[in-house]
Structure 1
Amino acid sequence: MSDVSRLADRLQRVLARAQEERTERDELVDGPDGTECAWAAHERDQMWKAVNALRADDGRPSIPLDDIVQVERQAAGHSDYSRKFALYCAELAQK
């Protein structure tokens, strides 16, 4: 299994934990594309923190939240959204 695959597995677990909190975050908030559910912003924030923690472990600089927004948009609409989002975030962690 490649490093990216291992990181994607780890990040998918981060995302799954954040997704478990969706029912607690049903209010609407401002997001990058307009109004969105707070759970979407929370999940994106958790992935951003996790990616930057991985980057810090490797001595890499932090990435901006906009990078996470971009890869989330790429994953949106896929039947395997969670896996794609985690995979794209893993790629950012190693970039």
Structure 2
Amino acid sequence: MSSLKAVTDVLHSTLARAQEEREQRPGLIDGPDGPECEWAAYERARMHETVNAIRGERDLPAVPVEDIVRAEQHAVGHSDYSRKFAFYCAELAEK
């Protein structure tokens, strides 16, 4: 199994666990592009933490949350949004 696939799988699992908690975060908050669902910010934060944890294990510097926002924006609209978001975050974790 390639490293990128393995990291994608880890991040996909992280996102799936965060998505299971959506009903616990029903509010709206200020997001990068204006008001957004609280659960969306939570999921992005979990992905940011996990990407940086993986980078830390590899002695790479942390990436800013703006990089995660861009990865998420590239995934929006895809029928496989969760897998795409995980893949784009895996690329960030590996570079």
Shorter-chain TM-score: which interval? over 0.9
Superimposed CA distance per residue, residues 14-69 of structure 1 (whole angstroms, 9 cap, x where no aligned partner): 00000000000010000001100000000000000000000000000000000000
Give distance in 2, aligned partners of 1:72 and 1:64: 13
Give distance in 1, aligned partners of 2:84 and 2:2: 16
Question: Does 1:22 pair with 2:25?
Answer: no
**What does residue 8 of structure 1 align with?**
8
Amino acid at match of 2:43: E
**What does residue 43 of structure 1 align with?**
43
**What does residue 81 of structure 1 align with?**
81
Shift of 1:2: 1.3
Please give the secondary structure, in 2, of the residue aligned with 1:73: helix
**What does residue 70 of structure 1 align with?**
70
Stretches of structure 1 that go unaligned for 5 or more consecutive residues are none
Please give the secondary structure, in 2, of the residue aligned with 1:59: coil
Please give the secondary structure, in 1, of the residue aligned with 2:30: strand
Please give the secondary structure, in 2, of the residue aligned with 1:35: strand
Give distance in 2, aligned partners of 1:93 and 1:53: 9
Give distance in 2, aligned partners of 1:88 and 1:80: 12
Please give the secondary structure, in 1, of the residue aligned with 2:7: helix
Identical-residue share of aligned pairs (%)? 58
Give distance in 2, aligned partners of 1:25 and 1:4: 31
Amino acid at match of 1:17: R
